[in-house]
Chain A
Amino acid sequence: MEGLGLSAPVIFFAAIFTNNILLTNFLGMCSFLAISREVKASLGLGFAVIFVMTCTSALNYLVYYHLLVPLGLIHFRYIVFIIVIAAFVQLVEMVIERSSPILYVVLGIFLPLITVNCAILGVALFMIIRNYTFLQSVAYGAGAGIGWTLAILAMGGIREKLKGASIPKPLEGPGIALIIAGLMALAFMAFSGMIQIQ
């Protein structure tokens, strides 16, 4: 079923707003709650995530449809996807470390964090469930990464503003972060009137 009646740009925008991987699918929360305190760190991590998500969705698509399916090994997809992601991140880390020390300081240190980011594996699994084509998968990966970064930046911005506010002690930290996330999720739901999603 090619295309499914949804164009790649629509999927791209939907992944950012209406089907935000973090605010609607709840993926990538751990690093989200930990890192979002600082906007600069959030940006660094965000870029890394966008890059890795886009590339690994392409790679995983190829591995799944050109290796696992023909060989009848789809039940191994979890192991294979995780290996692809881990290997890719390792590779990128090595390349960055060697070619650009500056970039490494800015970006490279976040890369190990990404391997355990459930959002990356989630993107691969969702694109399989939804039968996306190659182009749609890449669009989805890029969009999901941007959406995640958007959420984390917005969260960081809000938390910076909250620094002066008095929050009940038990709510400090993850508690208030979750409430904020809930409100953001509520707001993002408004976008679903704009775009048809998948």
Chain B
Amino acid sequence: MIVMVELKSRKIFASGVWKENPVFRQILGICSALAVTNLLINTLIMGLSLIFVVTMSNVTVSILRSITPTRIRMMVQTLIIASYVIIVDVFLKAYLPDISEALGPYVGLIITNCIIMGRCEAFARNNTVWPSFVDGVASGCGYAFVLLTIAFFRELMGFGTLFGMDVMPGGWTNWIIMVMPPGAFFMLGAFIWIVRSLGPRGEEEELKK
């Protein structure tokens, strides 16, 4: 019984991080993926915040799934997500005020991040607590993974630093465009290109046949 649960959890986790990655497979949650990724430290905090919100929302929605009337489930989900986001916002303001300012409105915008609502609707609503928890962590990690990769390149090429520390050799001229909006779009587009070249979704191929 325990082995079965473990295998299932691993599958859910792997799915959330790679096969069904919310950002480059499902194309969700793009907004923040582009906005905060010009610095690694901001991206890290954003990623952790999202993992927290999506996991806790998933768990809460799962716990309440049997008593929540279907008609109002969207409102309930929004309420739950918004509450956790406020909690994160308060914590950031209290303990990491500089980063909180740098992230600005994008912390609040986690509420409209399609990933969270998507996971609540698609998974947490119909599953028990533990798998919902794993799914939340997985989707959040998948998201964080993409963001951190993009931020890695944007900060490296745009500022020559990683997490604020100079890394590039002295002669390097910063590609300022990387830290501006167009750079974000190009990076994400390139990322999707590379990932999709590496391996098409199994289902897509099946459907084609």
Size of the A side of the interface (Cβ < 8 Å), in residues, is 40
A179 touching B186, Cβ below 8 Å = yes
- Which residues from 70 to 105 on chain A have a C-beta closer than 8 Å to any C-beta of chain B? 75-79, 82, 86
A116 touching B117, Cβ below 8 Å = yes
A30 touching B30, Cβ below 8 Å = yes
**Which residue on chain A has the smallest CB distance to residue B34?**
A26
Interface check B86, CB cutoff 8 A: yes
- The secondary-structure label for the interface of chain B is helix
- The secondary-structure label for the interface of chain A is helix
- Which residues from 106 to 136 on chain A have a C-beta closer than 8 Å to any C-beta of chain B? 116-118, 121-122, 125-126, 129
Partner of B105 from the list A29, A117, A125, A179 (CB cut-off 8 Å) is A125
A175 touching B112, Cβ below 8 Å = no
Known: A30-B30, A129-B104. A170 touches B196 (CB 8 A): yes
A24 to B183, CA, bound (A): 11
- Which residues from 145 to 184 on chain B have a C-beta closer than 8 Å to any C-beta of chain A? 177, 180-184
Which of A33, A77, A185 has the largest count of B CB atoms less than 10 A from its CB?
Answer: A185
A174 touching B192, Cβ below 8 Å = yes
Given contacts A78-B108, A125-B105, A177-B189, list 20 more A-B pairs with CB under 8 A: A26-B34, A27-B31, A75-B90, A77-B108, A78-B89, A116-B117, A117-B112, A118-B31, A118-B113, A121-B112, A125-B108, A168-B197, A170-B194, A171-B196, A174-B27, A174-B192, A178-B185, A181-B185, A185-B185, A186-B177
A-binding residues in B (CB < 8 A):
27-28, 30-32, 34-35, 75, 78-79, 82-83, 85-86, 89-90, 104-105, 108-109, 111-114, 117, 177, 180-186, 188-189, 192-197
Residue pairs across A and B with Cβ atoms less than 8 A apart, 30 shown, are A24-B181, A26-B30, A26-B31, A26-B181, A27-B31, A75-B86, A75-B90, A78-B86, A78-B89, A79-B82, A86-B75, A116-B117, A117-B112, A118-B31, A118-B109, A118-B113, A121-B111, A125-B108, A129-B105, A170-B193, A170-B195, A171-B189, A175-B192, A175-B196, A178-B185, A178-B192, A179-B185, A181-B189, A182-B186, A189-B181
